[in-house]
Structure 1
Amino acid sequence: MTNTHSNPNIAVILGTTRPTRWGHKPAEWIKDKIIADGRMTADILDLADFDLPMFDEMASNKWMPSKDPKAVKWQETLAQYDGYVFVTAEYNHSISGALKNALDQAFNEWARKPAAVVGYGGVGAARAVEHLRAIAVELRMVNVASAVHIGGGELMKVHPMGGNADASIAEIDAVLAPSAAAMLDELYWWADLLKGARAAEERKAA
């Protein structure tokens, strides 16, 4: 049964799988922010480590158990967490196919948990973030309104496209820190609240 007195455990989901991706840098950065904050614990879940097939189950696990062992492993991993931070690039005004597929591979494990976003791209992945939030609603997640958008000139200071492949996110931390703090405040509020609510529901059903 869920322990309501432990800190909420957050999965930072690295939402791209290409070998040339840059998302590991903001993923590590926001994970460190969560841990330094002290109210939550955090791990990075790298989609590249799960090798998920394209969704081909007969139905979502909302309706029947998934059969593919890789999908089941993904679901079992997600179930350990009380909330999620999605680190997403913007691909043609939306999220990556890999992230959409990973979202589709579960249902029950996402539900009644908060979803926060760190987006990066020319406009801070704003359009991808909006698409992701619509998906999160359908998966019964609670959207965290505050987000971190890494875009424009700040992105070019730390991204290979700006000739700064070796730069650290720390170089633009002063710009990003206020939005990160606002996001983590909301993420904690929802994660703690919903964790307690899920535990109360489990007790009632027992």
Structure 2
Amino acid sequence: MKHRLNIITGSTRPGRAGPVFAEWLEKFAREHGKFEPVLTDIAAFDLPLIDEPLHPRLGKYEKEHTKAWSKAVDAADAFVFVTPEYNYSAAPAIVNAVDYLLREWQYKPAGFLSYGGVSGGMRAVQATKPLLTTVKVVPIPEAIAIPFYQKTLDEDGAFQPTEPVLASANSMLDELHRWSVALKPMRAPAQ
């Protein structure tokens, strides 16, 4: 059975470009063949700023949006965060979504597809990694960075990947799979 890869769209603002890149990566990952990719858009969960009364370590969620988010994250074996850069840092929706949960994230690897201006969103990636390690996600160095992302979209708004992007996607997915397999025993229920 293939490992499940949640491709998480991390921007929730109107007019965002993230879904274009997430949809491209979902198709690419399906063709790559090592994962069962699942589009997971944070916006679809309508998560307000954390509104659960109890700490996530307890796993006693009261809100339906938290229960749905928990189920989606728990089902994954690995993640790719599709993220823009906001003010040289992480997308606020990603930070909030990560903070909602704890156990569901643990012992799973994460890669990134970032997009932005000159940095290609890499400052957002670097800002997100310490947060992920705190919830026991293993961020890998292999990533996809898309600088000046508007130039990669055709007149219909479809993403036109370059050869370096395709090579980066292959490397990231290969490495994510290795980590997902290696960490699987740690995701098993404790005895």
TM-score bracket relative to the smaller structure: over 0.9
Distance 1:94 1:182 in 2: 25
Distance 1:20 1:57 in 2: 29
For residues 1-206 of structure 1, the aligned pairs below 5 Å read 6-122=1-117, 123-152=119-148, 155-159=149-153, 164=154, 166-169=156-159, 171-199=160-188, 202=189, 205=191
* Conserved? CA contact 2:106–2:187, under 8 Å: no
Count residues in correspondence: 190
* Structure 1 unaligned residues grouped into runs of 5+: 1-5
Q: CA deviation at 1:131?
A: 0.8
* Conserved? CA contact 1:60–1:104, under 8 Å: no
Q: CA deviation at 1:156?
A: 3.4
Tell me the amino acid that sits aligned with residue 156 of structure 2.
D
Distance 1:185 1:52 in 2: 31
* Conserved? CA contact 1:60–1:107, under 8 Å: no
SS at match of 2:103: coil
Distance 1:64 1:35 in 2: 32
Distance 1:56 1:27 in 2: 27
Distance 2:171 2:134 in 1: 24
Distance 2:134 2:69 in 1: 19
Distance 1:59 1:105 in 2: 10
CA change 1:188–1:195 in 2 (3 A) is: same
* Conserved? CA contact 1:158–1:165, under 8 Å: no
* Conserved? CA contact 2:120–2:147, under 8 Å: yes
**Higher Cα Rg, which structure:** 1
Q: TM-score, normalised by structure 1?
A: 0.86
* Divergent runs of 4+, >4 A: none
SS at match of 1:172: coil
Distance 1:165 1:114 in 2: 35
Q: TM-score, normalised by structure 2?
A: 0.92
* Structure 2 unaligned residues grouped into runs of 5+: none
Tell me the amino acid that sits aligned with residue 166 of structure 2.
A
* Conserved? CA contact 1:35–1:42, under 8 Å: yes
- After superposition, what is the alpha-carbon deviation per residue over 1:106-138, rounded to whole angstroms, capped at 9, x for unaligned? 111001000110000011101100011111111
Q: CA deviation at 1:56?
A: 2.6
Distance 1:109 1:80 in 2: 8
Q: What is the identity percentage for the equivalent residue pairs of Structure 1 and Structure 2?
A: 33
Q: CA deviation at 1:165?
A: 5.1
Q: CA deviation at 1:64?
A: 4.9
